Amino acid sequence: MSLPKFNTSHTYKGTVNQLPFEIVHWGVDRESGKPLHNGKGCWNYYIYILESQIENFADFWLTPELKEFSVGGTQYLSCDYYSSPLSKVHWHGGVTFWEAGDTIPTRRSIKIGCDYAHLWDMEGGYDTELVDVYADVLQTTEELLALLKLKTK
């Protein structure tokens, strides 16, 4: 059997300043065959804020609201993450992703992140490398530490 062309991504995971992170590079190998951003793909990074690790987690938790694209239209859950203090720290181009994980009581999490698909990224030829994204992760986690009260072990 021959396999179809798949969309692929590369994920890099780690922990910085006790905060788990994920860097994703995607859009180079695509099912459509046409790579994104001059063939260089797109970068995103995410930081995980875990209730089990953060004393003041409640200060950052946003309850998702049910919204509609139009009256009677498709419904979706949304959070006003721009109002969160977490969005005020350094993110490449600002926060563009927020996901609330709350399937287990007292084990909630926030996955918050950003992308490298902005006008200035395009103007720069999308010449971002993993080392550049990691430097942004370091800056973001450093600034988050000023807001978050990490639980001592």
Write down the domain spans for the chain: 9-145
Measure the CA–CA gap between 42 and 27, rounded to whole angstroms.
6
pLDDT of residue 80: 87
Rounded mean pLDDT of the chain? Answer: 91
Look at 23 and 68; give whichever has higher pLDDT.
23
Measure the CA–CA gap between 113 and 87, rounded to whole angstroms.
9
What b/e readout covers 77-101, taking b as 16+ CB neighbours within 10 angstroms? Answer: eebebeebebbebebbeebbebebe
pLDDT digits (tens, 9 = 90+) for 11-48: 999 999 899 999 999 999 888 888 889 889 999 999 99
Measure the CA–CA gap between 64 and 77, rounded to whole angstroms.
6
pTM, rounded to two decimals: 0.88
Q: Is the dihedral of CA 119, 124, 125, 126 positive or negative?
A: negative
Q: How many CB atoms lie within 10 A of CB 121?
A: 19
Backbone angles phi, psi at 17, to 5 degrees: 55, 35
pLDDT digits (tens, 9 = 90+) for 111-123: 999 999 999 999 9
